[in-house]
Structure 1
C-alpha cells in the first residue's frame, strides 16, 4: 500500500512540475508541432508515465529528465531562431501547392494532399474560385495557408517558399 501512495505522490508532484517547466520556458515550448517538438512530446509522455507507474523511477529522477528535455527544447528553439542552417535541419520548409494559377502536382503527391482538400480549404476561407487565390502554401507545421489575390500585392510574404 505504501508504494501506491508513493506513486500517487509522484504523480501529484510530476504533473505540476512539468506544467511549471513549460510555463517557465514560455510559449515556444508549446508552438505548433515540428519533428523535434513531436519527439520531445513523446519523451515527456514516456517520462511522466514512468514516474507515475514505475517504482524504480523516483520523482527526482523524473524531474531531472523533464528539466533536461525542456532545457534541450529551449536550446534548440534558440539555435533555430538564431541560425538558419540549424532551423533548416529541424523545421520543415513551406512549399507552394498552388501558385500562378497552377497546382504543384509534384509537391501535392509528395505531401499526399488531394486537390479536393485544397478546394475545401479555399471554400473554408470564403472563396468560391481559384481566381481569388494568389497561392496555397503548405506551412512547415503541416497546416495550409491560403493567400488571397490583391491588386497591389507585393507578394512579400511568399518569398523564400520553395516550388
Structure 2
C-alpha cells in the first residue's frame, strides 16, 4: 500500500527514458512504413492501432519488458499491417476479408431504409452529414454512401449506379431489381 503514489526515482527515470525512446522509435517506424499505416481506419486498422497503444502502455509501465521487446512488437505490427495491405491490393478476397464494403444509404433523394438498418445508421446521422456539406434537402442528393472506414460520402448527382464509382458499393437487392426493371424504388 505504501507504493500507491511513489515507488522510486529509478522507476520514474525508467518510465521517462523508455517513454521518450519508445515514442521516438514508434514515430520513426510509422514514418518508414508509409502513409497507409496512418490512413483513415477500417476495422483492421483500428485493431492495429489499439495493439500499438497496448504495446506502448506495457512498455512504459511494466518494468520487466525491455525497450527492445517493445520495438520488436511495434515492428511486427507494422510488418503485418504492410503485409495485409499489400495482399489486399493484389487479392480482392483478402481485401473483402479485412474491410467492409461501402453501403449505399440514399439513392436519388430516397432513404434506403433496409440498408440504413443493416448499417445501423439513422436518418438524423445522414441529415447531419448533408448539413455539414451545405445541402439543405434530400432531393438535392444523388447518393449517400457509408464508406469502409465509417465516413459518409455525399454525391449530388448520380447518372447511373453502374458507374465505376459505385462498382464495389453494396446496394439493396430491392433497389437493384427496380433499376433493372425500370420501375421506381418504393418509398
Q: Which has the larger radius of gyration?
A: 2
Q: 1:125 to 1:94 in 2, by over 3 A?
A: same
Which whole-Å deviations, capped at 9, do the CAs of 1:56-108 have from their partners, x for residues lacking one?
00001111111111111111111111111000010111010011443211121
SS in structure 2 opposite 1:93?
Answer: coil
**Residue 116 of structure 2 is aligned to residue 108 of structure 1:** yes
Residues 8 and 151 (structure 1 numbering): CA distance in 2 closer, same or farther, change over 3 Å? closer
1:13-52 equivalent positions in 2, closer than 5 A: 13-52=21-60
TM-score by length of 2: 0.80
Shift of 1:51: 1.0
Choose 107-116 or 35-44, whichever is displaced more: 107-116
- The alpha carbon displacement at 1:4 in A equals 3.1
CA RMSD, Structure 1 to Structure 2 (Å): 1.9
Distance 1:46 1:87 in 2: 25
**d(CA) in 2 for partners of 1:92, 1:153:** 19
| SS of alignment partner, residue 98 of structure 1 | strand
Structure 2 gaps of 5+ residues are 1-8, 172-187
What residue in structure 2 maps to residue 4 of structure 1?
A: 12
Single out whichever of 120-129 and 55-64 deviates more from structure 2: 120-129
Q: Which moved more, 1:2-11 or 1:153-162?
A: 153-162
Compared CA separation, residues 154 and 161, structure 1 to 2 (3 A): closer
Please say if 1:57 is aligned against 2:65.
yes
What are the superposed Cα offsets for residues 13-37 of structure 1, whole Å, 9 maximum, x if unpaired? Answer: 1010000010001110011111111
TM-score by length of 1: 0.91
Q: Distance in 1 between matches of 2:147 and 2:43?
A: 13
Greater relative contact order (CA < 8 Å, ≥ 6 in sequence): 1
Distance in 1 between the 2:165 and 2:50 partners? 33
Number of aligned residues: 163
Q: Paired residue for 1:95?
A: 103
CA 22–10 in structure 1, closer or farther in 2 if over 3 Å, else same = same
